[in-house]
Amino acid sequence: MSDTSNTDTVAQDIDADTGDAVGETDDDSGPAIAIYAQWAVFAILTLVALIATLQFYFSASSAIDTFVTDRYRPLFNAAFNLAVVLACGLGLSVLVRRLA
């Protein structure tokens, strides 16, 4: 019985040694690919968000043109544009604070 246990231990050591030599891969390529994939997804989502924001802006402008009389339309357009500018300024200030 003792011969079998020694043989198993030696076999495990040989498997471990050859497994390390054969199984060695460049560990830097895996995380690098994942980082590039995350940046690609971030870029795609940013582009989609930009397109959706522009479509919302033009739809809101059309809604103002449809539902607001000619007399008050410039006032509503100015208020809407001011709200958009303030929201962009707030978002940019938060982003700059996080980056700094």
Given a cut of 70, whether residue 96 has pLDDT beyond it is: yes
Residue 10 has pLDDT above 60, yes or no: no
Is residue 44 domain-resident? yes
The answer to whether residue 40 is domain-embedded is yes
Q: Looking at residue 67, what is its pLDDT?
A: 95
Rg for the chain, CA atoms, rounded: 31
**From 15-24, 34-43, 58-67, the region with the lowest mean pLDDT:** 15-24
Counting the structural domains of the chain, the total is 1
Q: Which residue has the tokens 């402008």?
A: 61
- Phi and psi (nearest 5°) for 70? -60, -30
Residue 13 domain-assigned (yes or no): no
Highest average pLDDT, of 6-10, 34-38, 52-56, comes from: 52-56
Q: For residue 93, give its domain range.
A: 31-98
**8 lies in a domain?**
no
Determine the Cα–Cα distance for residues 50 and 68; give it in Å rounded to an integer: 27
Is this prediction's pTM over 0.75? Answer: no
- Cβ atoms of residues 61 and 88 within 8 Å: no
Residue 14: pLDDT band with limits 50, 70, 90: low
Q: Angle CA(73)–CA(74)–CA(80) in degrees, nearest 5?
A: 90
